[in-house]
Structure 1
Amino acid sequence: MSEPVDGLVVGEDGLARPVWASTDPLLRDYYDSEWGMPVQDEQGLFERLSLEAFQSGLSWATILRKRPAFRHAFADFDPETVAGFGDQDVARLLLDAAIIRNRAKILATIGNAQATLRLRAEGGLTELLWSFQPEQTPEPRTPDEVPSRSAESVAAAKELKSRGFSFVGPTTVFALMEAVGIVDTHLLGSHRRGTSGVWADRSI
């Protein structure tokens, strides 16, 4: 493995990745196969929105390691099922050491599921989130050039909050937009840059 150049590390496989995805096999696999690829189904977006909320204040590696447990605890993040969770479910989740036992985040996930169902009458969560896709995506050459929020994430966070969602600040929403392909913040030079197909017709 070579030394990082402009925030990228060339692995033994000859592929350039950012430092955060260059050592931990779990993070590397996530980066290579999932992060930044377009997610446009309601359940998939609800899961990632929920995980981003749970990640607040923690490392993403922690969330990934607990992801199977989260899926089990939250019925594979089926919005209809989670929206129906009651006090007994909250008590069960607070006793589940395999997930993040944070009452506020658990209640937010249930509330966000209910908000997701309400959105169906107006086009749904997918339509709302993807409506904030910018005209251009960032073109970071170094990690310092990767933004942590954008005008679109600020606007999306405001809209989500007005629809009853919580734990959806501009930074969390921008991280979600990165994760599901609404923006491409892969570093220029990374083997993953441009692979989502979302920006294939844009010059970068």
Structure 2
Amino acid sequence: MKTTFKIIITALVMSLSVFTFAQETEDSNNSQTEFKHSISMCPAAVAFGIYSVNYEYLHNQKHGFVARFDYEAIPKTYTDARIESSGYSFILNYRYHFNKQMNSYFVGAYGRYRQFDGKGKINDTSFDFTMPDVSYGINAGKKWAWKSGFTLTFALGYGFSNEDWSSNPNTNEVNDMVRDFRDDYDFVDPFYGEFSIGYSF
């Protein structure tokens, strides 16, 4: 599922980048509103059970400081244990806007704390687990900000990830199940993707 989501994000970035030239041509003939704030969410992610909201503050027209929160509802279909699980993450992101405005290409760096909690049952043994993950890396993208305030943002990034888990009971059988669940769902992944729609002001 996550691999499919990554493919969709990448395809959207590539296909919608054709708007860039037309947008920049229009902006060259019109004064650009100096937006300092932007709030957005990712509509495509909802189809995958991921709910995401972003806030960006633009300092001195070029330094973007972004805070993002994700909540993830995970299907029970990844292992025979029918694990019930969900996750959340907090992301802090710095962006350098080349055009000195919201409507700009940007590069940046991000840090993410993510945690998944779950419970299941295997061979009449009930168990639960917690799986924290810390990721950090770099990213790049494009933000379109129309004079009306309507905003589109596309970004891709990658880096490093450091994860662990604790299970109760802590047995080989339970840990094998949690490991299979992690591998099938692609938890250990420092991939960063954003396709968001929102409003700048």
| Normalised TM-score (structure 2) | 0.27
**Structure with the bigger percentage of strand:** 2
Larger radius of gyration: 2
Report 1 or 2 for greater relative contact order, CA contacts < 8 Å, sequence distance ≥ 6: 1
